[in-house]
Amino acid sequence: MRIKKARQILKSFADDTRLRIINLLNKQELNVTEL
């Protein structure tokens, strides 16, 4: 039970990190096109 919960937290954390990286890349692309 505890391991399952920990895995869920790790998965959600990984998904959150991935979304942040994608957002950062998108912002950088927008900045580049603006220049």
Predicted structure pTM score? 0.59
Instruction: Give me the amino acid identity at 27.
Output: K
Q: How many other CB atoms are found less than 10 A from the CB of residue 24? A: 10
Distance, CA of 2 to CA of 8 (rounded, Å) = 10
Q: What is the DSSP string of the chain?
A: -HHHHHHHHHHHHHHHHHHHHHHHHHHHHHHHHH-
CA distance 5 to 13: 12
pLDDT (0 to 100) of residue 30:
73
Q: What is the pLDDT of residues 1-35, one digit of tens each?
A: 799 999 999 999 999 999 999 999 888 877 777 65
- Please tell me what DSSP assigns to residue 35: -
Number of folded domains that form the chain: 1
Q: Could you list the residue range(s) of the whole structural domain that residue 25 is in?
A: 1-35
pLDDT for 21 equals 93
